[in-house]
């Protein structure tokens, strides 16, 4: 061919150029050349995979075990003669020019036990150590080869067969959960974790001299300084043998790294699904707070407020009074419960808590004045909707004795509502538990008042036998709603220990200001509605038949004389503000909670002038006698603690020098000898005194035998 190239390039003829192109094309034609990628592998597991690239349609694969030459150290040429091995060779066509070659070990990697006759296991930890050669041959001629160096260790399987039983967690007090922190794999032996119970004796032989040190490996290294065994004679002080401790290694401070001392109950995560209400579980005997059931084992329900929203089917709790108002915007006449309720739906049988039942007695009332139920509506037209027999209120009275419900009465108030497009309807629902004819009242503490509970007040009802019975009344503040006017305002009870101020607005016209005496009487009457009681309870659980449990309420007399005379557009001396002042005293502690008693309650009024404001260009209130302006009527309450045994004030030295103050320091030096005093009750006084004297003896002996005393004796000599 070299001659051909020389001849062609020398002559540069056209025929030679054509010959050169033909030769170049013939050389570029693909030949049956195949190659392994990669051509050398190191196997550490029972599976080996490689790729054979090229035209492998006529290729045959042969596997054999080879070994390097003892003289040259090299491996001989590939051979197309297969040998006997412990591997299984498979091939899979991956495309036109690629074949996946895979070898799998046909042998178990389990480590053989002692005196085991089974051959399908590994007698040594290094289970497989050999060199394999895979040859790709065409017609008995090798085309490519793959060398595999296999170095596979036996698997460390658990000594005991696994089971599906639940893991038994030991008691943390005696055996901590973290006794072997390096045991990270369940049911398998962790390398170098000598405390792993899954490791057999054969497994431990592999790394017994390389165990993980310290608490992570289940050991305490180094040992604690207080152990008598760790102190050498060279470095130990003279007094060390008297105070060192001989304690087992299991009792060490490292246990605190793994022992928490309490358990946490897992809480379910948030869910967007609607909660499933549990089925009612009837109770045999009613107690306070337990739900009341009907005869068919369903909850006895009345509309109530739950989380600020009205719920139509809320269970009624035994001895729990309530009164709620529910607002509904009506655009059409109601057809279902609770706004449309017939007496037969209310007349049901309720379990009485003693194995019997009671029938709910229904009393019907018709309301003609709907002002307290309809807050806003347009003037109805002739084409407006007329809704008859709309349920406006359901007032239940449940009579009880012991754990028994004796009778139930409900008063259903209905009315006819007329409106055009819509109307805002406010319905009332209440339940009161009566013991005979007396309503069960909740206390505000036992025995003293608790902060946040209502202040208990009452009036004395004198009977024929001169025995005073105190009937509970309310002490309230204004609670404005809707438009804030006093005519629609509600009242809220005074809560013990919580200062508060509230009020409402009273429309006043020029005509009202021309009758100042009548105006003052009207405002006084409104303020008196807040205070209907004459006595206040000293404690949170007063006895209505014991007058000594109650304190008279003092009222400051109003000054009727006015500094200025009334005029046409102004009135002076209007009692627009009512203030309630409560004095309380801490009388003791119950379970760490202070018990407070009320010592005095005083009601006072503040007078203020009311004058029409005609400024700002709006003079209509001063001209039109019927035009009104809004004037505030307010009420407030304040609580004052009475200090007892205050003593002389502390000096600056007592305030700043706190070294010996046991109340403000963790270390209390004045109580150093507390265990040997008679106030210590942890053990008998004789034992504590004996132990204290022994401890003093040890300190004296250590000081005499110690290094400082020896130096003093040497210096004295």
Residue 228, helix vs strand vs coil: helix
Question: What confidence category does residue 3 fall into, taking pLDDT thresholds of 50, 70 and 90?
Answer: very low
Nearest to 506, CA basis, from 577, 563, 573, 568:
577
The model's pLDDT over 253-278, given as tens digits with 9 standing for 90+, comes to 655 555 555 555 556 666 666 666 66
Q: What pLDDT score was predicted for residue 252?
A: 61
Contact 90, 158 (CB under 8 A): no
Question: What confidence category does residue 634 fall into, taking pLDDT thresholds of 50, 70 and 90?
Answer: very high
The model's pLDDT over 620-632, given as tens digits with 9 standing for 90+, comes to 777 777 788 888 9
Cβ burial of 137 (10 Å; 0-12, 13-18, 19+) is buried
Higher confidence at residue 480 or residue 302?
302
Contact 387, 330 (CB under 8 A): yes
Q: How many CB atoms lie within 10 A of CB 246?
A: 8
Nearest 5°: CA angle at 530, between 526 and 536?
Answer: 150
Average pLDDT of the chain is 79
**Tokens found for residue 623:** 């001209």
Give the start-to-end residue ranges of the domains of the chain. 35-69+78-153, 290-435, 453-558+566-641, 669-710
Residue 380 has pLDDT above 70, yes or no: no
Identify the bridge partners of residue 136 per DSSP, sorted by sequence position.
61, 144
Residue 22 has pLDDT above 50, yes or no: no
Q: Kindly state the average pLDDT of the residues 635-644.
A: 88
DSSP letter (8 states) at residue 675: G
Question: What confidence category does residue 386 fall into, taking pLDDT thresholds of 50, 70 and 90?
Answer: confident
Question: What confidence category does residue 24 fall into, taking pLDDT thresholds of 50, 70 and 90?
Answer: very low
The residue assigned the tokens 């550490």 is 44
Question: What confidence category does residue 115 fall into, taking pLDDT thresholds of 50, 70 and 90?
Answer: confident
Nearest to 395, CA basis, from 352, 436, 358, 363:
363
The residue assigned the tokens 């006997």 is 84
Question: What confidence category does residue 5 fall into, taking pLDDT thresholds of 50, 70 and 90?
Answer: very low
Question: What confidence category does residue 396 fall into, taking pLDDT thresholds of 50, 70 and 90?
Answer: very high
Q: What pLDDT score was predicted for residue 257?
A: 56
How many residues does this entry show for the chain? 717
- The b-or-e profile of 167-203 (16+ CB within 10 A means b, else e) is eeeeebeeebebbbbbbeeeebbbeebbbbebbbebb
Helix (H) or strand (E) holding 209: none
Q: Kindly state the average pLDDT of the residues 371-376.
A: 74
The model's pLDDT over 662-684, given as tens digits with 9 standing for 90+, comes to 776 667 777 777 777 777 777 88
The rounded distance, in Å, linking the Cα atoms of 539 and 546 is: 12
Q: What pLDDT score was predicted for residue 395?
A: 92
The model's pLDDT over 502-535, given as tens digits with 9 standing for 90+, comes to 999 888 888 888 888 888 889 988 888 888 888 9
Residue 713, helix vs strand vs coil: helix
**Tokens found for residue 468:** 């005073």
Q: How many CB atoms lie within 10 A of CB 339?
A: 22
Q: What pLDDT score was predicted for residue 122?
A: 87
DSSP letter (8 states) at residue 245: B
Residue 645, helix vs strand vs coil: coil
**Tokens found for residue 534:** 């004459």
Identify the bridge partners of residue 485 per DSSP, sorted by sequence position.
505
Q: What pLDDT score was predicted for residue 4?
A: 39
Q: How many CB atoms lie within 10 A of CB 145?
A: 20
Least confident of 163-167, 342-346, 548-552: 163-167
Contact 584, 642 (CB under 8 A): yes
Q: Is the pTM of this model over 0.75?
A: no
The model's pLDDT over 47-88, given as tens digits with 9 standing for 90+, comes to 999 988 888 888 888 899 988 877 777 788 888 888 889 999
The model's pLDDT over 422-439, given as tens digits with 9 standing for 90+, comes to 888 889 999 988 886 555
Percent of the chain scoring above 90 in pLDDT: 11
Reported CATH class of domain 35-69+78-153: mainly beta
| CA 704 from centre of chain | 59
The rounded distance, in Å, linking the Cα atoms of 485 and 477 is: 14
Higher confidence at residue 714 or residue 397?
397
Rounded alpha-carbon distances, angstroms, from residue 34 to 64, 134, 144, 239, 627:
19, 13, 6, 84, 110
**Tokens found for residue 262:** 């309490």
Helix H, strand E, coil C: the string for 249-310 is CCCCHHHHHCCCCCCCCCCCCCCCCCCCCCCCCCCCCCCCCCECEECCCCECEEEEEECCEE
């Amino acid at each position: 061919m070299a001659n051909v190239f020389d001849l062609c390039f020398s002559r540069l003829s056209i025929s030679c150029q054509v010959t050169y192109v033909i030769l170049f094309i013939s050389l570029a034609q693909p030949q049956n050349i195949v190659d392994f990628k990669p051509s050398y592998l190191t196997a550490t597991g029972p599976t080996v995979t490689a790729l054979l690239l090229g035209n492998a349609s006529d290729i045959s694969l042969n596997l054999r075990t080879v070994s390097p030459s003892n003289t040259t150290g090299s491996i001989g040429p590939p051979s197309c003669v297969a040998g006997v091995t412990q591997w299984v060779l498979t091939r899979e066509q991956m495309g036109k020019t690629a074949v996946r070659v895979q070898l799998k070990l046909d042998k178990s990697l389990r480590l053989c036990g002692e005196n085991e006759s089974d051959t399908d296991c590994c007698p040594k930890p290094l289970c497989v150590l050999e060199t394999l050669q895979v040859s790709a041959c065409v017609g008995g001629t090798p085309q490519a080869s793959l060398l595999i160096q296999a170095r596979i260790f036996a698997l460390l399987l658990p000594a005991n067969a696994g089971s599906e039983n639940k893991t038994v967690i030991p008691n943390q007090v005696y055996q901590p959960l973290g006794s072997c922190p390096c045991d990270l794999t369940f049911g398998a032996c962790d390398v170098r974790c000598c405390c792993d119970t899954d490791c057999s004796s054969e497994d431990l032989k592999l790394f017994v001299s390389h165990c993980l040190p310290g608490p992570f490996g289940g050991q305490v290294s180094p040992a604690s300084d207080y152990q008598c065994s760790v102190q050498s004679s060279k470095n130990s002080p003279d007094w060390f043998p008297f105070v060192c401790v001989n304690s087992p290694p299991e009792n060490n401070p490292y246990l605190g790294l793994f022992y928490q001392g309490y358990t946490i109950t897992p809480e379910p995560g948030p869910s967007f699904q609607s909660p499933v209400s549990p089925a009612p579980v009837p109770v045999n005997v009613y107690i306070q707070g337990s739900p009341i059931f009907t005869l068919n084992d369903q909850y006895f329900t009345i509309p109530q407020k739950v989380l600020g929203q009205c719920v139509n089917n809320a269970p009624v709790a035994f001895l729990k009074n309530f009164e709620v108002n529910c607002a509904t915007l009506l655009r059409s006449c109601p057809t279902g419960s609770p706004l449309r309720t017939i007496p037969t739906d209310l007349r049901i049988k309720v379990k009485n808590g003693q194995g019997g039942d009671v029938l709910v007695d229904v009393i019907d009332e018709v309301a003609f004045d709907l002002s307290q139920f309809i807050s806003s509506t347009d003037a109805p037209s002739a084409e407006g909707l007329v809704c008859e027999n709309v349920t406006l209120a359901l007032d239940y009275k449940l009579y009880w004795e012991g754990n028994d419900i004796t009778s139930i009465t409900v008063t259903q108030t209905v009315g006819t509502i007329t409106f055009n497009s819509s109307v805002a309807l406010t319905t009332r629902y209440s339940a009161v538990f009566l013991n005979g004819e007396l309503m069960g009242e909740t206390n505000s503490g036992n025995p003293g008042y608790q902060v946040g509970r209502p202040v208990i007040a009452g009036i004395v009802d004198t009977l024929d036998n001169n025995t005073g019975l105190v009937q509970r009344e309310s002490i309230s503040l204004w609670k404005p709603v809707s438009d804030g006017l006093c005519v629609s305002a509600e009242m809220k009870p005074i809560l013990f220990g919580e200062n508060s101020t509230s009020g409402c607005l009273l429309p006043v016209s020029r005509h009202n200001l021309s009758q100042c005496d009548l105006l003052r009487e009207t405002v006084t009457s409104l303020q008196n509605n807040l205070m209907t009681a004459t006595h206040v309870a000293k404690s949170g659980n007063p006895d209505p038949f014991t007058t000594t449990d109650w304190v008279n309420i003092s009222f400051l007399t109003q000054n009727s004389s006015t500094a200025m005379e009334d005029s046409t557009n102004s009135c002076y001396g209007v009692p627009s503000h009512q203030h309630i002042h409560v004095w309380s005293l801490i009388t003791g502690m119950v379970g760490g909670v202070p018990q407070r008693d009320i010592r005095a309650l005083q009601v006072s009024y503040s007078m203020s002038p009311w004058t029409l404001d005609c400024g700002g260009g709006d003079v209509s209130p001063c001209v039109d006698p019927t035009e009104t302006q809004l004037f505030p009527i307010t009420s407030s309450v304040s609580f004052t603690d009475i200090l007892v045994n205050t003593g002389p004030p502390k000096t600056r030295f007592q305030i700043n020098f706190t070294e010996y103050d046991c109340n403000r320091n963790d270390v209390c030096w004045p109580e150093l000898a507390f265990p040997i005093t008679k106030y210590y009750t942890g053990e008998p006084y004789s034992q504590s005194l004996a132990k204290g004297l022994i401890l003093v003896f040890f300190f004296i002996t250590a000081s005499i035998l110690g290094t400082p005393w020896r130096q003093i004796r040497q210096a004295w000599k």
